[in-house]
Structure 1
Amino acid sequence: MQDQPPKRRLFLGGLLAGSAALTAGLPLSALAAGTQASPPARQYLVKLLERIAEPVFSAMAEGKLKQTFELELSPTWDGRPKEVAYLECFGRLLSACAPWFALPDDDSAEGRSRKRLRQLALKSLAHAVDPASPDFLLWQGPPQVLVDSAYISSAMLRAPAALWEPLDAATRGRIVEVIKGIRSIESAHTNWLLFASMNEAFLLSVGEKYDPLRLTTGVRKMREWYVGDGWIKDGDTFHFDYYNAFVIYPMLVTVLQTMVRYKASYWGAAPADLLAQATRRMQRYSEHLERYISPTGTYPPIGRSITYRTAAFQPLAFLALHRLLPASLPEGQVRAALEAVHRAIWTPAGNFGKGGFLTIGFAGHQPTLGDWYSNTGSMYIAAESLITLGLPASDSYWTAPALDWTQKKAFANQPFPKDYHVDY
């Protein structure tokens, strides 16, 4: 990997200001043509996201999510209120869908489906914060609420024009109120600090009074916990798992992007410099992730929360969405590798229950793999690996020729790059 970041914008305004920047320079005719003739890899991922999202948004738009949701708890469930599952399900799914929802409307089959699901999601948001709704979510109580409130904030940051601006004033006010109210929940001294930072970043983005300490503490601790070669500890102890992918890098970079965009201060450093550093480290970590992918798309089921499935590859999708992939990871190579991963995980039977909701498992229904905090709502973080759908079908990510990824080359007697540690 090059010592310098690629000559691409380290901050992509489209993530925070809707789809305009994501589609900058593309004529509307090109966008329409691209969505009408979606490449096969995109078609597959769109259908996957639709399958994951449809049961949730269609039920919640009518205030019937709690009534119909297929709730399953891990066999080692720790006894926390099971109602946390609904916020987990909705928040994580909304965050994952947000980049796709931010694309402009068009009359293709995908465009019509996207518009319908986005409208259902907006209705669901209103239910989520309306105390009179049967689907009013749990916004106070167990610490888990802090975690999944941050995914609502993530969705608002990713697609404000699609998910924030269309809301009525009452719903917007309620969202701000519940996010501020979550400040009363103490954060664990782990990656959880980033959930508080995400909430403050959202408040900053909509012009609300934010807490600078909560905003920056998550960033400071991730910098302190950096151990080298792209890896960040999750607290005081190093964990060999996918939490750098599940939470740490996507949220760290998003918070810094927001700070740069809205000119928030950071004592002792410039947010733009921190963003550049975090991006380079995320790129390095993503080189590791890409090398985990076997020639058939399988990857090591290591560490905590392996039931989060393909969320393990969110950083690769994030960098692709933001057009920040390093030169060592060409778009066609990343797209082909991620398609193989999704097919390996989602093809086996059992990933979806009878009502279409996700089950606890890794590649199928494997409830004993659940951790003490796992429920079927938790599983919706898996959709975070689908955020590349926020790139229009005409984007080079989808149209670039498919390339073999590292392990596919390695086990086919093809040349492939050697790998060395970095010191940034």
Structure 2
Amino acid sequence: MINLKKLLSLCFLAIVLLTNANAQKKNKTKEQLPSGLQDRQYWSNLLYKIASPVILNLANGTLKQNMPVEVPPGNKPEFYKKVTYLEAVGRTMAGVAPWLALPDDNSDESKLRKKLRDALLIGIRNAVDPQHPDYLNFRTESQPIVDAAYMAQAFLRAPKALWEPLDEVTKQRIREEFKALRTRTGAYNNWLLFAGINEAFLSTIGEQADPVRVEFAKRKILEWYQGDGWYSDGPSFSMDYYNSYVIHPMLVDFFQILTQSKKVSQDDYNLAVKRMVRYAEFSERFIAPDGSYPPFGRSITYRTAAFQALGQVALMHKLPEYIDPAQVRCAVSAVMHRMYDQQNNFDSNGWLVLGFCGSQPDIADSYTSTGSLYMATLGFLPLGLPADDPFWTNPPADWTAKKAWSGQTFKKDYHVEY
């Protein structure tokens, strides 16, 4: 007969063996998943984590009820409540659009995509219904010009997923909200692009665009090109990430529409793309071996939006030959791990908090509130590439700074003339 001591020992041994077997099974599963697909799984889960509070609450009619309105210290949230909800929705839409445009399949990732896509279509309907508690403000203040533009960019990036399935009443309401933006104007800088792309979007859905807003945006942005892939944000140059937050991606999307109506030549569009590619080279080099990057300039609370231009170039398959797509994947993955894993950027309910890498409300700009922070989704554009794209399937590759700081050969950099 086995005594109690031996029985306890056998039980303990069984638990240890079972635990080890489960751990080995998990490790084996992880090892069987190629590293690029591990990165994709991480990206898609992280984007879902960021975007889902905005999209699911909008679909449920609880966005204004549940979204906090954190503002810079010393400011009162009353004004921000007029604009922050549209900020959150428009910016989130622009970031998730390429991902939601992918076809459904049987993967866990596809289930996340479908859940967000279905919810967003309901949410868009709610956002423009004047009788709905989450009806968003397009009608007062200047800020809606900005965030309607990100919504427009989302429709342009994923028309079959986000525009075509909408019912006709919702489509007409969107038309009217966008035309209502013409009662206001904004700053004399990148805001011209917002007004321009709003009009360009209207032209794609059967409305007459305002030719003055379109032409003014086109001419002034081109005049503000400084060279070597950099635009100034208005008449004066500012060293910040606005070339990625707004200027390059939105100008390229804007010009793509204008080429269809022959308001911009194919050569002008190609030049805008070349300049964005050149800027993307700088973006890739900004990323340090540990995944950090310089926190300079305005609006650094937009976090991973600093790499929207780099991501769009990858999404368009326009990376220079010397940059392996896996370099970009690994570099931006390192940024995401450095930023989102090592510091808590979310409150207890999953909403982004004011800060660059963690909760740092003192570094927020005066125009920033909770909704503004959802620019961060713009750093995830390569998720619009299918899982079998070389961006995800190529073996891991060191990025330029990692090569440079480890004694490897890397490409020298030179000024370009275009």
Does TM, scored on the shorter chain, surpass 0.5? yes
Aligned-pair distance for 1:38? Answer: 7.4
Match of 1:46 in 2: 44
Mapped pair 1:241 → 2:235 = no
Higher relative contact order (CA 8 A, sep 6+): 1
Aligned AA for 1:340? A
How far apart are the structure 2 equivalents of 1:258 and 1:38? 33
Equivalent residue of 1:167, what SS? coil
Q: 1:342 is matched with which residue: 336, 340, 345?
A: 336
Provide the aligned length of Structure 1 versus Structure 2.
385
Name the counterpart of 1:82. Answer: 81
1:77–1:374: 8 Å Cα contact kept in structure 2?
Answer: no
Comparing 108-117 and 373-382, the one that deviates more: 108-117
2:261 counterpart (260, 263, 267):
263
Indicate conservation of the 8 Å contact 2:36/2:394, yes or no.
no
What displacement does 1:54 show? 1.5
Normalising to structure 2: TM-score of the pair? 0.89
- The 5 Å alignment of 1:306-325 reads 306-325=300-319
1:57 equivalent among 51, 55, 58: 55
CA contact (8 A) 1:218 1:252 kept: no
Is 1:297 the equivalent of 2:291?
Answer: yes
> 2:41 corresponds to which letter in structure 1?
Q
Q: Does 1:376 align with 2:374?
A: no
Give the Cα–Cα distance (whole angstroms) in 1 for the partners of residues 314 and 74 of structure 2. 36
1:126 and 1:76 mapped to 2: Cα distance? 35
In structure 2, do the counterparts of structure 1 residues 84 and 36 end up closer, same or farther at CA, with 3 Å as the change threshold?
A: farther
Q: Secondary structure at the match of 1:227?
A: strand
What are the residue-to-residue correspondences of 1:198-209 with 2, within 5 Å? 198-209=197-208
Note the C-alpha offset of 1:400: 1.2
More helix by share: 2
**Aligned counterpart, 2:149:** 150
What are the superposed Cα offsets for residues 135-154 of structure 1, whole Å, 9 maximum, x if unpaired? 00111221111111101101
Name the structure 1 match of 2:406.
412
Question: What is the DSSP-based 3-state SS (H/G/I as helix, E as strand, rest coil) of the residue aligned with 2:355?
Answer: coil
Q: Distance in 1 between matches of 2:140 and 2:52?
A: 29
Shift of residue 81, structure 1, vs aligned partner? 4.0
Q: Is the 8 A contact 1:332 1:401 kept in 2?
A: yes
Instruction: Name the CA distance, whole Å, in 2 between partners of 1:216 and 1:106.
Output: 42
| 2:14 corresponding residue in structure 1 | none
1:181-220 equivalent positions in 2, closer than 5 A: 181-220=180-219
Alpha-carbon offset, residue 76 of structure 1: 5.3
Paired residues of 2:69 and 2:80 also in contact (CA < 8 A): no
Task: Find the residue that maps to 1:39 and give its secondary structure.
Answer: helix
Cα distance in 2, alignment partners of residues 104 and 377 from structure 1:
29
Does the 8 Å CA contact 1:87/1:145 hold for their aligned counterparts? yes
- Aligned-partner Cα distance in 2 for 1:303–1:348: 23
**How far apart are 1:419 and its partner, in Å?**
1.0
> Is the contact made by 1:81 and 1:142 (CA closer than 8 Å) also made in structure 2?
no
Distance 1:44 1:417 in 2: 29
Matching residue of 1:3: none
CA distance in 2, matches of 1:314, 1:216: 25
Q: Decide which structure has the larger Cα Rg and report it.
A: 2
Compute the displacement of 1:45 (Å).
0.2
Q: Is the CA contact 2:353–2:359 (under 8 Å) kept in the aligned structure 1?
A: yes
Counterpart contact for 1:99–1:159, Cα < 8 Å:
yes
Say whether 1:328 aligns with 2:327.
Answer: no
Identity rate, percent = 48
What is residue 5 of structure 1 aligned with on the other side? none
Which SS does the other structure have where 1:377 is aligned? Answer: helix
**What CA distance in whole angstroms lies between the structure 2 residues aligned with 1:264 and 1:375?**
39
Equivalent pair of 1:150/1:199 in contact (CA under 8 Å):
yes
Aligned residue in 2 for 1:98: 97
Q: 1:80 Cα deviation (Å)?
A: 3.7
Q: Deviations over 1:345-400 (max 9, x none)?
A: 11133301111111111111111110000101100001100011111101111101
Alignment partner, residue 281 of structure 2: 287
Does the 8 Å CA contact 1:77/1:371 hold for their aligned counterparts? no
Q: Which moved more, 1:195-204 or 1:325-334?
A: 325-334
1:259: how far off? 1.6
Deviations 1:35-92 (A, max 9, x none): 9997111000000011011211111101110001021011254874422110000110
- The structure-2 alpha-carbon separation of the partners of 1:80 and 1:236, relative to structure 1 and needing over 3 Å to count, comes to farther
Alpha-carbon displacement from aligned partner over 1:166-220 (angstroms, at most 9, x marks no partner): 1110000000100111011112110000001111121121122112221232221
Which consecutive segments of 4 or more residues in structure 1 shift more than 6 A?
35-38
Which residue of the partner structure matches residue 222 of structure 2? 223
CA contact (8 A) 2:35 2:396 kept: no
Paired residues of 2:57 and 2:66 also in contact (CA < 8 A): yes
Distance 1:124 1:62 in 2: 8
